[in-house]
Amino acid sequence: MAHVPSARTVYFTGPRGLDVRVEGVSEPGPNEVLVRAEVSAVSPGSELLVYRGDAPTELATDTTIDALSGTLDFPLRYGYATAGRVVAIGRNVSDDWLDESVFAFHPHASHFLAPPDDLVPIPADYSPEEAVFLPNVETAVNFVLDGTPRIGEQVVVFGQGVVGLLTTALLADCPLSDLVTLDRYPTRRELAGELGADRCLDATGDALEEIDAVLSRPETPAGADLTYELSGNPDALDDAVAATGYDGRVLVGSWYGEKRADLNLGGAFHRSRIDIENTQVSTLDPELRGRWDAARRLDVAWRRLADIDTGRLVTHRVPVEDAPEAYRLLDERPDEAVTVLLTYE
């Protein structure tokens, strides 16, 4: 194999603490390949929770991803959106894998070993920078599957981070009556409009009154039929419930970590028959599992990714050596940073 002197790997070392460590890389085992990363995407949701120390440290990192073992206790490697190229293969691996462009649900690292079954070949029509959006598009697909938006419904989405924006893009293809989004940052509201939202409201204003005004139609029951809470802010969940009408549905896609949500369930909610449901990409709705599995959902995500101009969501590209700056951007300047990519030379 080509000589690889070292790998640069991102480690979370404590609240707002980050190291880029230089580690040795061994030759691939008989059933492994060596991947050289080209780009990876920083998740401004789950990764920022870990970065800030807001994630429950006793929780398993992700039992569905082999590369994410252990718990969220520091120090740890974390991340799940890397695209690169196979540069060496083990003796039992087909030669077809050599030089293959691949996506991996893998932490940020310039080089890493993986069994081929853990890699996803990137179709020829996709660049590595597009491929790293695959996990977030798959999450958005899962949110739409769980929400079951119906023709003519009024839908509200709280939060227009990366996942919120991609969910908006998918919902915009549904024959809804109204698609209303909320976010506190002008850049994200502008992107939501470009991706198909009918109205993009300022979450720092009187959001509930504005939602009521937008959704007010004489022939339509009051309130949203379907509301997504994707902001990552526990306080937004109370507003999401309040924005939802009688017999409506609230889908909670945010991960709050150690932060708690204070809900007012003693008012209109008490008689409103509103359903509040968790939605998360690690599993599929049991009602769908007769015809859906993770492979089918991933295939849909690839096809939907082709329809979205993800380039407009990339605000910063940062060399992996400067990874601490990437996380500071997302943490301290969310009004500027939407998607931050780590690059590997």
In the chain, domain spans: 7-133+311-343, 138-287
88 forms bridges with which residues in the sheet?
A: 34
pLDDT under 70: residue ranges of the chain: 1-5, 62-64, 67
Q: At 313, give phi and psi (nearest 5°).
A: -90, -15
* Rounded distance between C-alpha atoms, residue 203 and residue 188, angstroms: 11
Q: Residue 63's pLDDT is what? A: 64
User: Residue 65 is encoded by which pair of tokens?
Assistant: 């991803």
Q: Residue 1's pLDDT is what? A: 47
CATH architecture of 7-133+311-343: Alpha-Beta Complex (3.90)
| SS3 of residue 270 by DSSP | helix
User: Residue 106 is encoded by which pair of tokens?
Assistant: 């893998």
pTM of the model: 0.94
* Rounded distance between C-alpha atoms, residue 203 and residue 181, angstroms: 9
Q: Residue 266's pLDDT is what? A: 82
Residue 29: partners with Cβ closer than 8 Å, 6 or more residues away: 90, 113
Q: Do the two domains 7-133+311-343 and 138-287 of this chain adopt the same fold?
A: no
* Rounded distance between C-alpha atoms, residue 216 and residue 303, angstroms: 35
Of the candidate CATH numbers 3.50.50.60, 3.40.50.720, 1.20.120.80, 3.40.50.1100, the domain formed by 138-287 belongs to 3.40.50.720
Q: Residue 5's pLDDT is what? A: 66
Q: Residue 294's pLDDT is what? A: 94
Residue 268: partners with Cβ closer than 8 Å, 6 or more residues away: 242
CB–CB of 25/3 below 8 Å? no
